[in-house]
Amino acid sequence: MNPQFKKQILIGGMSGLLILVLIYFLLGGKRDDLAALKASNAALETDVNRGYALKDIYEKLKAEVDQQEKVIEQLISIMPTDADRGELPYRIKKLADAAGIEQVSFSLQPPAVKEYYTEYPVLFTFKAGYHTLGQFTSLFSGYGKIIDLTDLQMTRTSGNPLYPVAVTCKISAFVYNPAKPAPAAKGPAPRPGAPSAAKKDQGD
């Protein structure tokens, strides 16, 4: 083989190798950028998936809150108003008459203020029979507003076959306390040395 031709082949091979080396080093930075871009895309996809999950949780929580608010509104609608609790002794007297027991007396007790409602208790005394007392409690359970009967005490009496039992109990009405409005925001503080409104009016 011609020595000159061999020399050309050797030079061509070395040139090709040199070009491959240059290409490898020149594209090395691009490969690093591509790897970083892939990692960034993976992290972004994770964040997007997390965002979708949070949105689903938010929608579920919002639906639960809406449902709870409806339940609260229904409860508020059957809580006595101030007018209702003022008529409580009269309403209980009507129930007692319907059941066939005698309301002897009632006594208003101090109200108990809670966070969301105020309890207005009333002490009652009745004369009743066992059957008519059971009928009274049945009518009481069907009352249209939220009231409560507690501290029921029965004492057997003699000499009155129509009312052989003396009954004392506490009946409470629960009135909803609306949330208090947020305090109004205060205006900006006057600048030092600025005349007050009162002095300005006097000057005018």
- Tell the CATH topology of 82-176: Alpha-Beta Plaits (3.30.70)
List the pLDDT tens digit at each of the 204 positions of the chain: 566 656 666 666 666 666 655 555 555 556 566 667 777 777 778 877 787 788 888 888 888 888 877 777 777 777 778 888 888 899 999 999 999 999 999 999 999 998 888 999 999 999 999 999 999 999 998 887 888 999 999 999 887 888 899 999 999 998 988 766 556 656 555 566 655 554 445 554
Looking only at the bridges linking them, the beta strands covering 147-156 and 117-128 are: unpaired
Q: Where are the domains of the chain?
A: 11-77, 82-176
User: Strand, coil or helix: what is 155?
Assistant: strand
Give exposure, 7-18, as e/b (b: 16+ Cβ within 10 Å).
Answer: eeeeeeeeeeee
